[in-house]
Amino acid sequence: MKHADIFKLIVKAFGVFLLYQAVSLFTDYLTAVGDSERISGPAFIKITGLVAAAVWFLFGAPPIQRWAYPEAKTSSVPKSVEVEEVGMPCVSCGKRIPEGSKTCPACGWTQPK
């Protein structure tokens, strides 16, 4: 695993922790006040805030991910290194074929000697 993947897993685990805290706070509040009464404003705001933060962290908290592991805009390493193929080009499609091969692996055309 790369460092960014491990960091993303930790962020999501924190989201699970926050969701647990929200559920725990909600059940504690219902136990303390009873089911017949409405949830007060400050308790509702606190529970809603915890749930919102939990969902945000469960989805990976994209701004935190970008801050922790920014993608390099210019890279010193080329994305793909071109490999020089060996062999003659196919008479039909023009792609290189391995030396000694009688047919082209790309198009199946039989090659002259």
Same-domain pairing of 12 and 64:
yes
Quickly list DSSP for 12-37: HHHHHHHHHHHHHHHHHHHHHH-SSS
Same-domain pairing of 90 and 62:
no
- Classify residue 35: in a domain, yes or no: yes
What is the residue range of 110's domain?
85-113
| 2-28 pLDDT per residue, tens | 888 888 899 999 999 999 999 998 888
| 31-84 pLDDT per residue, tens | 877 655 666 778 888 889 999 999 999 998 888 888 888 874 444 555 555 555
Count: domains in the chain: 2
pLDDT at 72: 43
Q: DSSP secondary-structure letter at 110?
A: B
Same-domain pairing of 63 and 90:
no
- Classify residue 29: in a domain, yes or no: yes
- Classify residue 76: in a domain, yes or no: no
Same-domain pairing of 56 and 26:
yes
Same-domain pairing of 9 and 64:
yes
pTM: 0.55
Going by pLDDT thresholds of 50, 70 and 90, the confidence category of residue 102 is: confident
Same-domain pairing of 27 and 54:
yes
Instruction: Compute the CA torsion angle 32, 33, 36, 42 (nearest 10 deg).
Output: -120
